[in-house]
Amino acid sequence: MRALIQRVSQASVVIEGTTVSAIGPGLLVLLGVAEGDTAADREWLARKVANLRIFNDPDGVMNHSLLDTGGDLIVVSQFTLLAATKKGNRPSYIKAAGPEEAIPQYEAFVSDMEALIGKPVGTGAFGADMKVSLTNDGPVTIWIDSRNRE
């Protein structure tokens, strides 16, 4: 699994003109599920996202996590995070899991996050044409890949 984590002051997801998720301060996570990702990958990544210390403490030092701040969270499925660009100019998505594998992993990740942070998590809709808006706070953007644990 790959996650692009953005610390935001606000974020929203709009599908066909309707806002389906909107948050204030917190995290927007774009999540890509790769073929063969396991429950262990998913659980490790969920714990990492919940505990990632990228929010400022009173001294302005990034020392607090989403758990510490009580911030909100939106998770959006994003198969393009698995793009392979080594050959040619058209990205290949062959490493991305198909819907039969990716949807259950995505939904389980959202459930894992809800259990960890103790509140509902905003989402998009798997496979939908989504308009994602955000105000990146900092900016702070972190890339994590569960396969290499970084």
pLDDT, tens digit, for every residue of 65-111?
999 999 999 999 999 999 999 889 999 999 999 999 999 999 999 99
Domain spanning 2-145 has what CATH number?
3.50.80.10
How large is the average pLDDT for residues 21-27?
A: 98
Task: Spell out the residues 6+ positions from residue 132 whose beta carbon is closer than 8 angstroms to its own.
Answer: 11, 12, 13, 14, 28, 30, 76, 124
Residue 124 above 90 pLDDT?
yes
Task: Centre a 10 Å sphere on the Cβ of residue 150 and count the other Cβ atoms it contains.
Answer: 8
Task: Spell out the residues 6+ positions from residue 62 whose beta carbon is closer than 8 angstroms to its own.
Answer: 53, 54, 55, 56, 140
pTM summary value:
0.95
Q: Looking at the annotation, which residues are catalytic?
A: 80
